[in-house]
Every structure is written in C-alpha cells, then in structure tokens.
Amino acid sequence: MRSLIPQRIPQIPESRLILYSLIEEENKSQARLAKTDDGRSWLLKSSMRSPEILAESLGWLLSRRLNVPTPDGAVTTHSGKPAWLSAYIGQIDYWDAKKMSAIHNITEIGSMLALDALLYNEDRHHKNILLEPDPDEYRVKAWSIDLADAEIGRPEGIKRVALDLPRAVYIARGIPLDVTRDQALVTADLAAQLNPKDLREDVVEACGLASEAKVDVLYDALLRRFQNARTLVEKYLSAYSEVVE
C-alpha cells in the first residue's frame, strides 16, 4: 500500500550508482565517492547501523524544516544494507576561526548550534562544518553535515535525556557567538512553532527508512524538546561560551 505520508527524502536504487574509491573511514562508517547515472556526484556513507540511518534521515529532514544549510541528501542501499548519500561538495575546507571573515553565511552556523541542541548532537567538530568556495577561497559558504551520532537515532535515548543538553566539549572552537547567537535563537523559535503534524511526518518517514518501530517514543521526546526550544538553545549557547572562555 502506498504511504499516506509524503516522502521528502529521495530514494535512489543502488543500480543507479557508480562507486569510486574509499575516501575515509570514521565512526564505523565508510565514505566513498559515488555518481548516479545522471552524472551527479555524491558522498556515500555505508556500513551504517539503523540508529545512524535514523539520525541522518531525521536530522536532514529537520535541517530543511529549520533552514539549516545542509547538502542535498538521499537514501540508497549498498551491499544490501541502508546507506546515506550526501551531495558531494568539491574543493572543501573545514571550519577554522582564522577563516571566518570569508564565510558569507557565518550567522547560519548559529542555526547549526541550535539544531545540535535540539537533536542532542555532540559531534559538531570542525570537520562537520564544511567550507565551500563560493565562488572562491575568499568567499566561502558553510554547510552542516553528519548527524549520524545524534541521540535522535535512539528513541529510548532521546527519551531518557529528556530536556538535558548535549555536552559542548566537542564543538569546534572559535565560533563567534556574538555573530551567531541571534540566528540560533531564530532557529529555536522556528522549531517551537513547527506544526506537530509536520514533525510527526518527519519522524514517521525517517523511522520507516531505518526500520525503527518506536515512532511514538521518538516523536513524543522530540516534540517536548521542540516545545522548549528557546530555553534549550539559550542554555546550550551559554554552555558553549563557558567551555571556550
């Protein structure tokens, strides 16, 4: 039976993929350069467990809801197992406080921090903020990537943490809160105003992709965090400022 829930994440058959060499291996996920038969380049993350697929999928959906800059995404299979595709960004660099003057969307890093607070993501190290030439090294765009380790991938885990904050000790250093704070709070307000029906649709879609049955557990826990978004984000920014001072 066709799902009554709109599907927002593209699903690309493995037969459409041409795989290239292994790029890196981190956190038990293998990253390979891949191309689809239409010539588009992707970064394929394979060897992913169900919680990682759930976190990537739901994190991507919510990033789009909250206007967090994140590359196009899709799901596929690799060797019969679920895998995540992220649009390939060439000539990348990573977050470096010395380069912040070149980042034309630096305020949107505040949106990334707000997302991390809401999804209980502790993995915002400098390599999870990509810098893309736009159009060259003197003007670059920041992108948010890799939410596979966020607690939203574990329904009982996000229920257990309730309204606790992720630890800020692993966040990339040197993010200017004076520049990013306002946008972080804008994102928090967007989250608080998100229609619960839309949030549930995203949870249902991501759980379906990850074969996760505990939809209600995840939805209830996430709804509570979104309803308290402003408080969570403000506390998270304060915790980050204490770590870096």
Percent of the chain at pLDDT > 90 equals: 85
CB 151 within 8 A of CB 158: yes
Summarised one tens digit per residue, pLDDT across range 139-185 is 999 999 999 999 999 999 999 999 999 998 889 999 999 999 999 99
- pLDDT band for 2, please (50, 70, 90 cuts): very low
pLDDT, position 243: 74
Can you list the domains of the chain with their CATH numbers? 14-87 (3.30.200), 93-244 (1.10.1070)
How far is the C-alpha of 211 from the C-alpha of 50, rounded, in Å? 7
Average pLDDT, the chain: 93
pLDDT, position 20: 84
- pLDDT band for 212, please (50, 70, 90 cuts): very high
How far is the C-alpha of 9 from the C-alpha of 11, rounded, in Å? 6
Summarised one tens digit per residue, pLDDT across range 48-95 is 999 999 999 999 999 999 999 999 999 999 988 999 999 999 888 999
Residues facing 17 on adjacent strands:
36
Summarised one tens digit per residue, pLDDT across range 80-139 is 899 999 999 988 899 999 999 999 999 999 999 999 999 999 999 999 999 999 999 899
H or E segment and range at residue 10: none
CB 9 within 8 A of CB 57: yes
**Which residues fall within 8 angstroms of residue 4, CB to CB, at 6 or more apart?**
none
Q: What is the pTM of this model?
A: 0.94
